[in-house]
Amino acid sequence: MNRTIAPKVQLPHSLSLGHVHEETLSNGLKVYTLDGTSQNILQLNILMPGGRFFEKKRMLAGLCASTLLKGTNSKSAREIAETFDFYGATIKIQANMYSAQVSLFCLSDKFAELLPLLMDVLQNAQFPEKEIEKIKRKSKQKLAVQWEKNSYIATQYFNRAIFGAEHPFGYLSDAKDIDAINREDLLQYYMEGLHLNSKSIVLAAGNIGATIHKLISDSFSKLSLHSGDEHQANIQPQEPDFKEITSKNALQSAIRIGMPSINIYHKDFENLQILNTVLGGYFGSRLMSNIREEKGYTYGIYSFLNPLMDTGYFCIATEVGNQYKNATISEIEKEINRLKNEEIPAAELAMVKNYMIGQIMKSADGPLSMISTLKNFVIFGLDLDVLNKQLENIHAIDAKQLQELAQQYLNFDKMTKIVAG
Amino acid sequence: MTTVEEFVLPNGLTVLVEEIDSTPLVTLNMLYKVGSKHENPEKTGFAHLFEHFMFEGSKNIPHFDSTLQVAGGDNNAFTTVDLTNYYETLPAINIETALWLESDRMLELDFNQQSLDTQISVVCEEFKQNYLNKPFGDVWHLLMDLCYKSHPYRWPTIGLKLEHVEHITLQETKDFFYTYYRPNNAILSIAGGVKSADVIPLVEKWFGDIPAGPSIEQPIKEEDKQTHGRTKEVTRDVPSSVIYKAYHCFNRTHADYYALDVITEILGTGDSSRLYKYLVDDLGLCTEIDAYLSGTDEHNLLIIEAKPEDGISLQQIDAAIISVLNDLQETLVEKRELEKVINKACNYLAFTNESHQSKAFNMAYFKSINSMHLYNNEQTFYHAVTPKQIKRIAESIFTEANSNTLYYNASSNE
């Protein structure tokens, strides 16, 4: 046996995606279901067009999500928690950038018992004063801890530099803004941003079957929906910024380097994702190989493209030993310029392509993974076919195209650079 | 019901295979029965540093990660106090690549000073990022040192101090490898879209010729039974104070383990748990409170942590926690509360079992503690827990003499 010869590998050109059942209820609500887990489980996600983008007061989306389960007109916070816990279920409320999300994870045979409570929370949340005050104190305590972390400080200032200090994605989180929120604000945001409306989407995956399917359709179709809000946040183009922030935790510095970029609908978006993967999008990336594996400056360095609707941004993030701060920034510049000046060698490109194909297979592996992937697409009005389109792109792209993309979209001099440490 | 194929190669490597035909992927999991508890007290952090070194190339394959990526795979690894675990997830059709990679790095590593230096530097940055340069980063060091006096659990996996990691030599990594990274000290498990009949000959092909190592007869230092309550008080520049209370329990394989887990859930998981209801809701003493088990093979700790509301002292919280614990010793748990906790456990187990990656690790883990009867079967043990058993365990654990309390004060609060 010759151990130096690699076993042959094969990768698919298309994916079998399983059957996603798509349905529009009589009230206009969209429901996606995926049946077929091996376990007797159910994951239900309800997406509402809320999130930070729709905030009319700072920190409101997050605080509203934290207080949603704290009482309805017939149930106390404790009764709600008792019921979800009694049936062994987990319920999570999140405020994302563009969406507010309610997620329920339970055993399929407990779903019928949990559904009435879920509907109650979705329609009749009350936000009791006492609970609001408690959550505000807890949120402020957590925020104070966050501001002690260089990584948090750097991300906050980076977002501000990209979006502007007034944008819902750009303002600095401040305890004073939490103090300024009252019950009326929460109720108003709940009605507008955390409430099922005509743009909401329900997704369910698991061992569903006809009974659960019918339960979902019946209960969600009974709801009268608000019309979707057309709120738009105002984006001002920002000048690139360079900022060094001194913090008291000075063993390491957190670095964020990046710039505005294309949005998820742009024709180059998928290809730019491939370029980003080469640079810093996975463990074997150029940034990781150079700055962690060769130089040992950091425990980790990554780059990412954040897919947004009307804009997008590109960012490199790392925490490095203080003595390596300047060396790291200059290596980042070198790696960006290398992508612009040289074609990616064939072996490296083949490796990245195969790695990305494996990742796409993972994102479609079974109903739970598939629904989590679909969830991120439907927010943008896209569906799972994106995965097959991504596969096609990956197979088709060549080194020359990637070099052109680097020249077009990456410009180190125009990048915002934030260092906290 | 799924079945696990289990066998041992002549060199001592234990192999477990489970076919899961619903996935086109497979996870290969390699568990080495070495963790930080096997370290020399003067060379702590070794097992974890070695985990990093395992990715620096092997005898015939210079680049581990990129070779796996060519096959569409990704991987990760972690080190605990008890074990070091590596796994690769990739398209099932490419399983042989993962076997080739894992077998080559078990056969022989590329022992190279430059790679070692780089990984020492990476681990030192990890140490700074997670333990030194972060609010509350030193909690685990303080708490383990308080709880364990002779058992090697007294230092965390990252190591006691940076200097230990900085001074590791290439010869020491070789000695470590040829002691602990031999087939007879490892468990290979495979779960996913493969057939045992196809995969077993490939396991034999790639792992069959790796020589066995010495049998490991290294006794782990025992921890004497704690006889007096211990407290430690520190002040740090953090935004809020926190209290930790830890009680010594027993080994993972103890017959009472699932009842212990139930106790932990009753006390402190979620907003309907007893600690939350009493200390957060009723008394308004804390903003957050949690209880959890350390989850180690031996000498488990039941740990409670809480963050105070403004103006509340850690001592007030301490007293309130003790009263909740006393209640478990005095009154039998009601059926409904027990049923709730069992439902939660079953929910968690069902979601875990949906992932072939979790299954691959769980198989290897249960094998490592000689408890394959627990694999896919833990629900049975939760269902068997009784209120009397809970009371008896609470009586024996929650005593002043068995308690370890860390008061972690925020200097800004003074």
Architecture of the A242-420 domain: 2-Layer Sandwich (3.30)
Identify the pLDDT of residue A215: 94
Distance in angstroms (rounded) separating the CA atoms of residues B366 and A122? 41
Contact B70 A6 (CB under 8 A): yes
Contact B70 A354 (CB under 8 A): yes
Distance in angstroms (rounded) separating the CA atoms of residues A302 and A315? 8
Distance in angstroms (rounded) separating the CA atoms of residues B127 and A187? 44
Q: Taking residues B126-138, report their average pLDDT.
A: 88
Report how many Cβ contacts below 8 Å link chain A to chain B.
205
Per-residue pLDDT reduced to its tens digit, A60-110: 999 999 999 999 999 999 999 999 999 999 999 999 888 889 999 999 999
Dmax over Cα atoms in chain B, in whole Å?
67
Per-residue pLDDT reduced to its tens digit, B71-114: 999 999 999 999 999 999 999 999 999 999 999 999 999 999 99
Residue B414's pLDDT band (cuts 50, 70, 90): very low
Phi, psi of A18 (to 5 degrees): 75, 170
Among the partner-chain residues A1, A7, A298, the one whose CB lies closest to the CB of B125 is A298
Q: Measuring CA to CA, which residue among A48, A204, A26, A59 is closest to residue A123?
A: A48
What's the distance, CA B34 to chain centroid? 12
Q: Measuring CA to CA, which residue among B108, B148, B131 is closest to residue B45?
A: B131
Contact B70 A350 (CB under 8 A): yes
Query: Are the CB atoms for B292 and B143 separated by under 8 Å?
Result: no
Tell me the two tokens of residue A317.
Answer: 């993030």
Interface test with A, best of B105, B112, B129 (most A CBs within 10 A): B129
Identify the pLDDT of residue A318: 96
Among the partner-chain residues A78, A86, A147, the one whose CB lies closest to the CB of B340 is A86
Instruction: Using CB atoms within 10 Å of the CB of residue A134, give its burial: 0 to 12 exposed, 13 to 18 middle, 19+ buried.
Output: buried
Share of chain B above pLDDT 90, in %: 92
What SS3 string covers B23-36? Answer: CCEEEEEEEECCCH
Query: Are the CB atoms for B273 and B265 separated by under 8 Å?
Result: yes
Report the gap between the CA of A410 and the closest CA in chain B (Å).
Answer: 25
User: What CATH number was assigned to the domain covering residues B230-413?
Assistant: 3.30.830.10
First to last CA, chain B: 59
Distance in angstroms (rounded) separating the CA atoms of residues B258 and B277? 23
Q: Measuring CA to CA, which residue among B372, B311, B374 is closest to residue B345?
A: B374
Would the pLDDT of B164 be above 80?
Answer: yes
Contacts of residue A37 in chain B, CB cutoff 8 Å? 354
Contact B66 A86 (CB under 8 A): no
Counted residue by residue, chain A has a size of 421
Query: Are the CB atoms for B191 and B163 separated by under 8 Å?
Result: no
What is the overall mean pLDDT for chain B? Answer: 95
B345 touches chain A (CB under 8 A): yes
Q: Taking residues A282-294, report their average pLDDT.
A: 92
Between these two residues, A191 and A45, which has the higher pLDDT value? A45
- Cβ within 8 Å of residue B191, ≥6 positions away: B17, B18, B20, B26, B27, B29, B356, B357, B359, B360, B363
Calculate the alpha carbon distances from A394 to A14, A101, A267, A359 in Å: 11, 31, 14, 12
Query: Are the CB atoms for A77 and A91 separated by under 8 Å?
Result: no
Contact B65 A284 (CB under 8 A): yes
Distance in angstroms (rounded) separating the CA atoms of residues A104 and A125? 17
Residue for token pair 């074990």:
B83
Domains of chain B by residue range:
5-207, 230-413
Q: Taking residues A128-140, report their average pLDDT.
A: 93
Instruction: Tell me chain A's radius of gyration from C-alpha atoms.
Output: 23
Among the partner-chain residues B307, B345, B353, the one whose CB lies closest to the CB of A141 is B307
Architecture of the A20-221 domain: 2-Layer Sandwich (3.30)
Region of A18 (left: φ > 0; alpha: ψ -120 to 50; beta: rest) is: left
Identify the pLDDT of residue A228: 61
**Intrachain domains B5-207 and B230-413 with the same fold:** yes
Per-residue pLDDT reduced to its tens digit, A313-336: 999 999 998 899 999 999 999 999
Would the pLDDT of B134 be above 90?
Answer: no
Per-residue pLDDT reduced to its tens digit, A263-279: 888 999 999 999 999 99
Task: Tell me A224's DSSP state.
Answer: P
Per-residue pLDDT reduced to its tens digit, B210-222: 999 999 887 889 8
- Cβ within 8 Å of residue B113, ≥6 positions away: B170
Distance in angstroms (rounded) separating the CA atoms of residues B101 and B107? 10
pTM here is 0.93
Q: Which residues are paired to B291 by β-bridges?
A: B304
Query: Are the CB atoms for A237 and A389 separated by under 8 Å?
Result: no
Residue B129's pLDDT band (cuts 50, 70, 90): confident
Contacts of residue A350 in chain B, CB cutoff 8 Å? 70
Distance in angstroms (rounded) separating the CA atoms of residues A360 and A354? 10
Instruction: Using CB atoms within 10 Å of the CB of residue A44, give its burial: 0 to 12 exposed, 13 to 18 middle, 19+ buried.
Output: buried
Helix, strand or coil for residue A24? strand
Would the pLDDT of A143 be above 60?
Answer: yes
Helix, strand or coil for residue B274? helix
Query: Are the CB atoms for A301 and A318 separated by under 8 Å?
Result: yes
H helical segments located in A305-345: 325-341
Q: Taking residues A364-388, report their average pLDDT.
A: 90
Q: Give the torsion sign (CA, A23, A24, A30, A31).
A: negative
Contact B128 A295 (CB under 8 A): no
Report the gap between the CA of A394 and the closest CA in chain B (Å).
Answer: 13
Identify the pLDDT of residue A237: 65
Would the pLDDT of A414 be above 70?
Answer: yes
Q: Measuring CA to CA, which residue among A102, A169, A153 is closest to residue A306?
A: A169
Identify the pLDDT of residue B61: 96
Q: Identify the CATH assignment for B5-207 out of 2.30.29.30, 3.40.50.720, 3.30.830.10, 3.40.50.10320.
A: 3.30.830.10
Distance in angstroms (rounded) separating the CA atoms of residues A356 and A376? 18
Contact B343 A40 (CB under 8 A): no
Would the pLDDT of A234 be above 60?
Answer: no
Q: Taking residues A183-193, report their average pLDDT.
A: 88
Identify the pLDDT of residue B59: 93
Per-residue pLDDT reduced to its tens digit, B342-381: 999 999 999 999 999 999 999 999 999 999 999 999 999 9
Contact B238 A365 (CB under 8 A): no
Per-residue pLDDT reduced to its tens digit, B372-408: 999 999 999 999 999 999 999 999 999 999 999 999 9
Contact residues, B window 212-241, toward A, CB-based 8 Å cutoff: 237-240
Per-residue pLDDT reduced to its tens digit, A235-261: 566 778 888 888 876 788 999 999 999
Contact B124 A321 (CB under 8 A): yes
Would the pLDDT of A18 be above 60?
Answer: yes
Put the strands of the sheet holding B5-8 in their side by side order.
Answer: B5-8, B14-19, B186-192, B25-32, B84-91, B74-79
Would the pLDDT of A15 be above 90?
Answer: no
Instruction: Using CB atoms within 10 Å of the CB of residue B217, give its burial: 0 to 12 exposed, 13 to 18 middle, 19+ buried.
Output: exposed
CATH 3.30.830.10 domain range(s) in chain A: 20-221, 242-420
Tell me the two tokens of residue B210.
Answer: 């790796």
Identify the pLDDT of residue B218: 79
Distance in angstroms (rounded) separating the CA atoms of residues B86 and B109? 15
Region of B365 (left: φ > 0; alpha: ψ -120 to 50; beta: rest) is: alpha
